[in-house]
Chains A and B, each alone.
Chain A
Amino acid sequence: MTASGTTVPAASPSAAASGRAAASASAADDVVVELRDVTKAYGELAALGGVSLRVRRGEFVAVVGPSGSGKSTMLNVMGTLDRPTTGSVTVAGHDVGSLSDDALSRLRAEHVGFVFQHFHLAAGASAVENVADGLLYAGVPRRQRQHRARVALERVGLGHRLDHRPPQLSGGEKQRVAIARALIGEPALLLADEPTGALDSRSGAAVVHLLEELNEAGTTIVVITHDLALAAALPRQVRMRDGRVDDVSGLDAEVRR
């Protein structure tokens, strides 16, 4: 697994950008998502103050940091749910800045999977229907969606809960349904926002274990978490503070301080 990431001083974004471009040229095929000098401002508030980050295929990255440090904003930008105010974002080889809203939707449908803290499943639909929705906007025929949803549910260990509805499932099971929904389209990038945040520790551990398995099978995963132990167990940690990437890896040192 390769890991790369740098903290770029906001004062010299252009120099850093050109350096990065040269460095990344050889490994461009391997880069799943790349942020370059990304800022995001909501009015006066700067949620991101110049972030550069590169995630390669097969990585499992933890993003940690206090509330308000810009983790979620960065996830939104990585997942093309939001556009940066300045800087550039490349996802699966596509320059997000040059794409229309429709093209971004298609990019998400084909290359990005999302897992949310509160699952966001349709309460009235079965597990299979929920998971199948992950392919709804990718133009896959209904029958094929249903078939692949079953396969995805088996993969996350819910082969025995296919026709259960979310209210009949435990929190951990709901999150596994949500992960199956994110996975069904075989995305280049799986983004998870506090996937264990709403779960008890045992269910949380099971979900983490599942994510690890998926990563070992080749899925690139970026996960936001408050769980420092979880973050420490991952190959790479990105620590954020005040809208910047504060440190990469070496989380143990941060914890002790």
Chain B
Amino acid sequence: MSARPGRLSAGDLLGLGLFGLRTRPTRVVLSALGIAIGIAAMIAVVGISSSSQAALARVLDGLGTNLLQVVPGQDVRGGDVPLPPTSLPVLERRDDVEQAAGVGRVDDQKVYRTDRVPRAASGGISLDVVLGDLPGVLRTGLASGTWFGAAADEHPQVVLGSTAAATLGIDEVDPDTRIWIGGRWVAVVGVLEPSPLAPQLDSSALVPSSTATAEFGWDGHPTEIFVRADPDRIDEARALIPATVAPEDPSGVSVGRPSDALAAQEASEASFTGLLLGIGGVALLVGGIGVANTMVITVLERRAEVGVRRALGARRRHIRDQFLVESLLLSLLGGAVGVALGAAVTAGFAVHQGWPVVVPAWAVVGGLGATVLIGGLSGLYPASRAARIPPTSALAAA
């Protein structure tokens, strides 16, 4: 009469497991909660970190990763070697350089809001002379006003970095906005947006080069040059730039890649992510122990049920599988809720930060896989105990 003696179909096992959970909802919710919290923590940590990386990738996408920064190196005695005044034109002649611009710092000039500010209260704003199309190379737009106009040669003009503008209390540029630099009034024509690739310029007051030497005593040496290299030949360009700028002493020129620094900063946050992941892992472990505990109690309470099932013809294996499936489902339920919760936290946080929402598929699959593993391990001992309950338990329990 038995078509498949000794076998329970997957559907039957699933039915048994679901039934076991359905009849004890409170306990199921509480013990699944432990798993859910652990998984949610891990998914949220991975999700937030991935979203932040995606946000950075989007920023870098906009800014380009082909920007190189050329600064003075140091000679053997540790002193700065200034870049030659001709650096910019020679760099622009290289065919692997698409565009170049730079600044030259004027160290002995201070920037004040008005002529009445005490000399010592310069606010840490530095004065930089602009060489070439700096906003174009840095891809930094204007938050307010304009870049230097045609009249720059006649009337002294300045464009402020975002931090410098904030320090001076200038939100909006109007025709009458002016600041006090080097003992004279200079008209503010524009304010730049923050520049992620050259944050040091955010606190600068920028002046055009045409009048810089006459007005502010600039020595003609650039202190920083930004180069947009051909993206396919960026390593080559990076290697050859020192010799181009200073053929007689290439070691006196240092070339960096600001996008690398941004990425490195992100990488240093990865170790923090690892720590949080560890905490999530501990929560998951505790959740797994909770599931095991619940299953052990369930087995203790259900001796009579096991006895009845044995009397109905269940083999030890059937009993073991029933409780194992119940444990797996319990854990998986927690995992699914945890994934949803973790994804929701990630989405909320990322949207709040203005980041793209990224929940990596590997984290979801890994999280659910971990819950299956935990459910299996947690259920193994209780299930084997249930399988050893003697068939006479149904009668004995009367």
Contacts and interface: CB of A to CB of B under 8 A. Distances in A.
Interface of A: 72, 75-76, 79, 81-82, 101-102, 105-110, 112, 114, 116-118, 120, 122-125, 133-134, 136-142, 181, 185-186, 193-194
A175 to B, nearest CB: 13
Interface string B143-173: 0000000000000000000000000000000
B22 interface: yes
Q: Name which of B304, B394, B395 has the most chain A CB atoms within 10 A of its CB.
A: B395
Contacts of A106: 2, 5-6, 313, 315
Contacts of A75: 395
Q: Name which of A106, A125, A138, A140 has the most chain B CB atoms within 10 A of its CB.
A: A138
B1 interface: yes
A134 B312 contact: yes
Closest 8 CB pairs of A and B: A109-B313, A137-B313, A139-B4, A124-B23, A139-B2, A81-B391, A105-B315, A114-B311
Interface string B7-41: 11101100100010011000000000000000000
Given A101-B316, A102-B315, A120 B394 contact: yes
B314 interface: yes
Contacts of A79: 311
B235 interface: no
A106 to B, nearest CB: 6
Contacts of B391: 81-82, 108
B312 A193 contact: no
B395 A72 contact: yes
A117 B398 contact: yes
B115 interface: no
Given A122-B305, A139-B7, A108 B313 contact: yes
Contact of B318 (A112, A117, A137): A137
A136 B304 contact: no
A118 B316 contact: no
Contact of A110 (B2, B304, B311, B394): B2
B120 to A, nearest CB: 81
A185 B392 CA distance: 20
A76 B315 contact: no
B5 A139 contact: yes
B3 interface: yes
Interface in B369-396: 390-392, 394-395
Contact of A136 (B6, B8, B22, B392): B8
A141 B1 CA distance: 11
B22 A124 contact: yes
Given A105-B310, A136-B312, A141 B3 contact: yes
Contacts of B308: 114, 116, 120
Contacts of A76: 392, 395
A251 to B, nearest CB: 23
Interface string B256-295: 0000000000000000000000000000000000000000
B309 interface: yes
Contacts of A141: 3, 9
Contacts of A81: 307, 310-311, 390-392, 394-395
A116 B1 contact: no
28 contacts: A81-B310, A81-B311, A102-B315, A106-B315, A108-B312, A108-B313, A109-B5, A110-B313, A114-B394, A116-B308, A118-B397, A118-B398, A120-B307, A120-B394, A123-B23, A124-B19, A133-B309, A137-B8, A137-B312, A137-B313, A137-B314, A137-B315, A138-B1, A139-B2, A139-B5, A142-B11, A186-B1, A193-B395
Given A116-B308, A120-B397, A139-B3, 8 more contacts: A101-B315, A102-B6, A102-B316, A108-B313, A120-B307, A137-B315, A141-B3, A193-B395
Nearest to A133: B312
A148 to B, nearest CB: 11
A140 B2 contact: yes
A108 B398 CA distance: 20
